[in-house]
Chain A
Amino acid sequence: MRITPKQYAISLFESVSNKKDGEAEAVVKKFFGLLVRNNDLSKSGRIISELARLWNKKSDIVESEVVTARKLDDSSIRSLEKFLSEESGAKKIVINEKVDENILGGVVVRYGDTMLDASLRTKVRDLKSAIKK
């Protein structure tokens, strides 16, 4: 039977949780050996992302991506963090900032499956299609 990346990630996650760094290293080494034996190294990318997802879920961390037209200052990042922790109910928010001038202004926030699109580009586009009608 083929093992899916998700199953790999879950088993790795379960075997390294509650272990010290030294022990975990050994586990990871063994896990690598397993991947090589099963000829599943090509799945490593998806296993890693799945593992990160599991880890975040377990420790109540929400990773989010914030796209803005210009770089944000500290106070707006803090208020965004506060907003997001209220929104998602997570303890800790990790914000990955990204600057994209194409969105013109405003902000696009993505976390998990949710996207908050408050960018100027989308508004202008919607306005355009509304006027076209």
Chain B
Amino acid sequence: MSTTKDFIIGQLKEQIADFKAEAKRQTIGKVISVSDGIVKISGLSDVMMSEMVGFKTENGSVNGVVLNLEEDSVGVIVLGDYSGIKEGDEAVATRKILEVPVGEKMIGRVINPLGEVLDGKGRIDTKKNYPIEKIAPGVITRESVNQPVQTGIKAIDAMIPIGRGQRELIIGDRQVGKTAIAIDAIINQKGQNMKCVYVAIGQKESKVASIVTKLEEAGAMDYTTIVLAGASDPASLLYLAPFSGTALAEYFLDKGEDVLIVYDDLSKHAVAYREISLLLRRPPGREAYPGDVFYLHSRLLERSCRLNKEYGGGSITALPIIETQAGDVSAYIPTNVISITDGQIYLESDLFYKGNRPAINAGLSVSRVGSAAQIKSMKKVAGKMRLEAAQFRELAAFAQFGSDLDAETKAKLERGKRLTEVLKQDVYSPLPVASQVLAFYALINGFIDDVAVEDVIKWEAGLLKYAEMTGKEVLKQIEGDYNQELEDKMKALISEYKSTL
């Protein structure tokens, strides 16, 4: 007891001694007007762009960020509750560019874009702050994508592979499983030496709560941070959220680690930015978005990268999500983000309602860099599979008209039907690569052709269970090099399984 007392008194004396030496010189301004989270200030003559500005209100102090520097006023967005700010209030320049606390302790927590705790698990003490905006790594520091991100989703890992440092857009209508794909990918990063950041922008807090529970159940919160700007938060926080998530990711990047960051979703981010821009009276452009909405997303996604060995060798893989309206990918924001990213996963509601889940449209989905990063055995089976899928799509459209089909075409169609079945997968159940390769190998080598289409899912689950029990060796080998010996072993394993049925 006495030691704490002494400690407190000692601290107090120290603080008082410190304060005596200090006479604070501050630049101040006066609030001219307050409207919808935007504050106009006169004065603050030497304030910087995106500098933090402090307001002292009756309900505590609030911070703002300078976004507009005009001839004789400054436009500021308020980060938090602006209802306490009145006309004539004093605004104090802090001389600091907006930054957020970052650190290891953020892992496993739910925070808001300013780094404040939202999960009620106590304060986070961090030593470091990172600026919200940072110029993306240059050419000299980068390396091409050469390591895979295993999402655990069969359709993606085989046909639209993602590499570490890639930016892969997930695009589709509402309620077609965009978030589910991202969450699956996060769950599958367990033991893959990857940190994850999930940025929820304008999401319902109930949805985020269920995501957190899901991740906790799967043990994924051991390496995941959730940055939440909810639907009821002001537009300023929604605007900041992806940037602050990226700042956290960059902290791990600078330590040479690999990070997976999900922005869910950037269409709401664009809407929040449009709101801020219009309130700041910046001229509107197409769909009333401001002229720099492309730059907004390109500078954000450009920060995802793969650094070379000399610069730490870390990576940031980004999975931005865009929600389309009635499948319209040619709207302003979707086209922008499609052109920025290194490929897209296109989800279709028609496929979703048909029961093809995940509802990935293999024809419209592409990955521009990821195939370089696939593991050897996956590359081998996936190449053949992609071809089969393409042929099936072509024939299926063609076969609708004719009834007389030759045997070869019929076989192709049957194979294709089984392929769609194999690609079906439940949510929150990512598969390890080795199992995926085995299933695909069985498919392209005709082992499934004699199984009824309705039974394929059950057959495949049985195969993977069997391999898990008796073929651990083979599964291990699949992750290594691909050769004839492995192929023989896989063939033997699958035949063995078939004989047990």
Contact = CB atoms under 8 A, between A and B. Distances in A.
Contact of A131 (B12, B43, B92): B12
Contact of B15 (A115, A122, A127): A127
B24 interface: yes
A2 to B, nearest CB: 15
B275 to A, nearest CB: 27
B27 A6 contact: no
A93 to B, nearest CB: 17
A118 B19 CA distance: 10
B45 A112 contact: yes
B15 A118 contact: no
Contact of A113 (B8, B23, B27): B27
Interface residues on A, range: 10 to 19
Nearest to A119: B24
A130 B12 CA distance: 9
Given A127-B15, A127-B16, A131-B12, A118 B45 contact: no
Contacts of B24: 116-118, 122
A117 B90 CA distance: 13
A126 interface: yes
Contact of A114 (B11, B23, B26, B90): B26
Contact of A116 (B23, B44, B90): B23
A92 interface: no
A126 B25 contact: no
Contact of A117 (B12, B26, B45): B26
Interface in A98-114: 110, 112-114
A123 interface: yes
B19 A113 contact: no
B19 A115 contact: no
A34 to B, nearest CB: 22
30 contacts: A6-B72, A110-B28, A112-B45, A113-B27, A113-B43, A113-B44, A113-B45, A113-B46, A114-B26, A114-B28, A115-B25, A115-B27, A115-B28, A115-B90, A115-B92, A116-B23, A116-B24, A116-B25, A116-B26, A117-B23, A117-B24, A118-B23, A123-B19, A126-B19, A127-B15, A127-B16, A130-B15, A131-B8, A131-B11, A131-B15
Interface of B: 8, 11-12, 15-16, 19, 23-29, 43-46, 72, 90, 92
Given A115-B27, A123-B19, 18 more contacts: A113-B43, A113-B44, A114-B27, A115-B25, A115-B28, A115-B90, A115-B92, A116-B24, A116-B26, A117-B23, A117-B24, A118-B23, A118-B24, A127-B15, A127-B19, A130-B15, A131-B12, A131-B15
